[in-house]
Amino acid sequence: MHDIQEDELVQFTSKVIWTVLSAQGDFVPKYLIKAKLHLPSEIFNKALEALQKFLLEHTPLQIQEVEGEIRLVIQNKYNEHIWPFRDKKENYPSLSQAERDVLSIIAYLQPIRTAEIQRRRDGTDCESPLNSLLRKKLIHREVIPGEAGLPYLYVTTKEFLKTFGLKDLAALPSLNF
pLDDT digits (tens, 9 = 90+) for 77-114: 877 777 666 655 455 668 888 898 999 999 999 999 88
More confident residue, 110 or 173: 110
Which residues lie below 8 Å from residue 13, measured CB to CB, with a gap of 6+?
37, 39, 43, 44, 47
- One fold for 2-85 and 92-171: yes
Q: Which is higher by pLDDT, 162 or 154?
A: 154
- φ and ψ at residue 143, rounded to 5 degrees: -70, 135
pTM: 0.62
Res. 134 pLDDT band, cuts 50 70 90: very high
Which CATH code is given to the segment(s) 2-85?
Answer: 1.10.10.10
Q: What percentage of the chain carries pLDDT values higher than 70?
A: 89
Closest CA to 158 of 139, 131, 134: 139
Pairing of strands 152-156, 112-113: antiparallel
Confidence of residue 67 (pLDDT cuts 50, 70, 90): confident
Tell me what the pLDDT averaged over the chain comes to. 85
pLDDT at 143 over 50: yes
Second-level CATH architecture of 92-171: Orthogonal Bundle (1.10)
Q: In this structure, what are the phi and psi dihedrals at residue 164, rounded to the nearest 5 degrees?
A: -100, 10
Burial of 101 (0-12, 13-18, 19+ CB in 10 A): middle
State yes or no: pLDDT of 172 exceeds 90: no
Q: Domains of the chain: which residue ranges?
A: 2-85, 92-171
